Amino acid sequence: MLNPKIVELPNRSTLFYCQSSQFKTALFRILVPYGGPWRSIRSMAALHYVMARSTEKYPTTQALNRKKDDLYAVSVSPTHMTFGTFRLTGYTAAMLNSHCVPDGTDVLAGTLDVLDQIMHHPKRDARGLLQEAYVQQTLTDMHISYQGVASQPSSLVRERFWSRILKDNPYHIMGKYLDYAGELLKTDASELTGFMKENVGVRPEIYAYYGSASEEEVTERILSTMPSPDGPDNRDLFPDLRVIHTVPEPEQVTESSEFGQSQLLFGYTFEPELTGGDRAAVLMLDSILGGSPVSKLFTEVRERSGLCYDIGTSLLPSNNILIVGCGLSAGDIGAAEQGIREQIEKTASGEISEAELVSAKESLCFDLMAHYDSPDRYLDYQLYRFLGDPIPDIPEMIRAISQTTQDDVAAMARRIRPRLYYRLVGKKGGDAE
């Protein structure tokens, strides 16, 4: 089994290191924290610009793909990670992802060089990477992307849902597509260019690496490009984001939609709040209730009763949240809601068959073992543990799931508390009850 290692570097950053020669592709992640709601959109735009998409028109790709005869970088892309949702970490970050060959150290060095050029010492801009034409292209592409997502019914529902269930947290960016698109329209290239040049000192906090290069090689690559400890410790800038509070009565929200299909999103929390020791039982609950094609909700509400097109659960254990979502006709809303409540109540009362228990265990344990065959999944699983998600290591998790009983799952279901009932009622399919 792999043994991830945590290395504190002299430039006040941390290397999360996993060495493996099992795969030809090396991976790395670079986490660049930032904070403040007023900075979020511009920070995202800046980071998207820095690690722009892998097409010839972007300067970052041109800077990294210096070897024309060999495959140098399979992909380098930005991903905004809402690590602020983890109640134990308390900061948001942008994560820059890369798949590269053979050991990734050249691509890592090139990526850091561009980051240093634009984000840490942008006033130098020796390569001219901050040309407004490049920046404007990034803004245009981002705006088109966000508008496209915002025009999808499922994304629109989730945007409204998340804005309500996490309304106390202005730093959270889940479900803010429409806000981002509007802000991008107000941000011109010169403003963004000036923002990046003025806000020096933004630097990576965490480097994660999975590949065949030695710890010394990876460390040398990082320190040779990012040696300076100057600037603030960015993690000190961010507030505690523990914003999931118990409410006496669940909020009821019903809105109309121009789309034909209706959608339900019901948000629940757990009392007492979930801890690392609860993870096996809550994963089993999620799988049995709505996390698989043989779950109670899918089998009973969709297959047997025919009340919806699709139904399932989404578990965010680090946030103490369980979500039930389904798409259906407006005339079936009342019956579907009753069906959802009944299945939660039956699970809480212990109506869990041996077949359901065994199926959930096999599915979850197989999925956990598959992490060892996927560098991406393994690196991210371990990285989330390092960032504060209180989950056991994979072998411990498998043992805990294997030992989970019907009583454990039922007890977890009894901890479910409704927080938000959100209904988006479409035009077709009859009237909602």
pLDDT (tens digit per residue) in 330-346: 999 999 999 999 999 99
Domain harbouring 149, CATH code:
3.30.830.10
Among 184, 209, 237, the domain-final residue is 237
In a shared domain, residues 308 and 225: no
Lowest mean pLDDT among 24-28, 232-236, 297-301: 232-236
pLDDT above 50: residue 350: yes
Q: Where residue 6 falls among pLDDT bands split at 50, 70, 90? A: very high
Could you tell me if 356 and 286 are in contact, meaning their C-beta atoms sit under 8 angstroms apart?
Answer: no
Q: Between 185 and 233, name the one with better pLDDT.
A: 185
In a shared domain, residues 169 and 298: no
Among 211, 237, 263, the domain-final residue is 237
**Tokens in use for 364?**
């979850």
In a shared domain, residues 229 and 255: no
Could you tell me if 210 and 28 are in contact, meaning their C-beta atoms sit under 8 angstroms apart?
Answer: yes
Those residues whose C-beta lies under 8 Å from the C-beta of residue 426, and which sit 6 or more positions away, are 257, 259, 260, 261, 262, 263, 329, 330
Lowest mean pLDDT among 10-14, 81-85, 119-123: 81-85
* Helix, coil or strand: residue 419: strand
Would you state the pLDDT for residue 125? 60
332 strand-pairing partners: none
Beta strands 206-211 and 14-19: pairing type?
A: parallel
In a shared domain, residues 102 and 175: yes
Omega before 250 within 30 of 0, i.e. cis: no
**Cα–Cα nearest to 213, from 74, 378, 66, 102:** 102
Whether 431 is in a domain gets the answer no
In a shared domain, residues 37 and 136: yes
Could you tell me if 27 and 98 are in contact, meaning their C-beta atoms sit under 8 angstroms apart?
Answer: yes
Whether 358 is in a domain gets the answer yes
In a shared domain, residues 231 and 175: yes
Whether 245 is in a domain gets the answer no
Whether 349 is in a domain gets the answer yes
DSSP class of residue 274 equals P
Alpha-carbon span 282 to 401, nearest angstrom: 10
Could you tell me if 400 and 391 are in contact, meaning their C-beta atoms sit under 8 angstroms apart?
Answer: no
**Cα–Cα nearest to 432, from 324, 307, 340, 321:** 307
Alpha-carbon span 86 to 316, nearest angstrom: 10
Would you state the pLDDT for residue 112? 77
Whether 280 is in a domain gets the answer yes
Q: Which one-letter amino acid corresponds to residue 294? A: V
Among 181, 212, 237, the domain-final residue is 237
Would you state the pLDDT for residue 242? 41
Could you tell me if 313 and 290 are in contact, meaning their C-beta atoms sit under 8 angstroms apart?
Answer: yes
Q: Structurally, how many domains does the chain consist of?
A: 2
Q: How many helices (H) and strands (E) does the chain have?
A: 15, 11
Those residues whose C-beta lies under 8 Å from the C-beta of residue 223, and which sit 6 or more positions away, are 9, 10, 11
Whether 31 is in a domain gets the answer yes
In a shared domain, residues 197 and 72: yes
Could you tell me if 241 and 169 are in contact, meaning their C-beta atoms sit under 8 angstroms apart?
Answer: yes
Those residues whose C-beta lies under 8 Å from the C-beta of residue 352, and which sit 6 or more positions away, are 288, 406, 409, 410
The average pLDDT across 394-419 equals 96
In a shared domain, residues 55 and 198: yes
pLDDT above 80: residue 268: yes
Whether 225 is in a domain gets the answer yes
In a shared domain, residues 291 and 182: no
In a shared domain, residues 289 and 217: no
In a shared domain, residues 10 and 49: yes
Alpha-carbon span 209 to 370, nearest angstrom: 19
Alpha-carbon span 286 to 343, nearest angstrom: 12
Whether 243 is in a domain gets the answer no
pLDDT (tens digit per residue) in 188-211: 667 666 666 665 555 677 889 999
In a shared domain, residues 229 and 306: no
Those residues whose C-beta lies under 8 Å from the C-beta of residue 357, and which sit 6 or more positions away, are 284, 288, 404, 405, 406, 409
Range of the domain at 97: 5-237
Predicted TM-score of the model (pTM): 0.81
